[in-house]
Amino acid sequence: MKAIKITADEIALLRKVAATREARADKLVADHGHGVRPSWVSAEIAAHGSSAENFSRAADEMQAEVIRAVASAEVLGPIAAAACHNVCLTLLHETINTTKEN
């Protein structure tokens, strides 16, 4: 399995896909209602909801890894921390700078 380097674009893409899946589920509910409906509709709603949760969870895990990399950067330095946590160095620097400003 190929490791994906964590970038801001990657996290944003996962959140966008999660929102799209959730919107598809919402559209099916709007089109077919909450009452009696074909079984395939219920299956699609469940599949889109589950997929949205998985993509959202993956984005959250990536964001948490960025936060762990920021903490490691204090000890290891930013380059080593980015490499250890598979985080894009640019994203790590942006996060560190944002954290310092707050």
The pLDDT value given to residue 43? 95
> What CA–CA distance (Å, rounded) separates 94 from 63?
13
Tens of pLDDT, residue by residue over 17-60, are 999 999 999 999 999 988 888 999 999 999 999 999 999 999 99
Rounded (10°) CA dihedral 5, 67, 23, 48? 70
Would you call 6 helix, strand, or coil by DSSP? Answer: strand
For the residues 77-101, what does the mean pLDDT come to?
A: 85
CA atoms of 75 and 81, how far apart (whole Å): 8
Q: At residue 3, does pLDDT exceed 80?
A: no
pLDDT band at 1 (very low <50, low <70, confident <90, very high): very low
* Residue 70 C-beta-side C-alpha neighbours within 13 Å: 17
Backbone angles phi, psi at 53, to 5 degrees: -60, -45
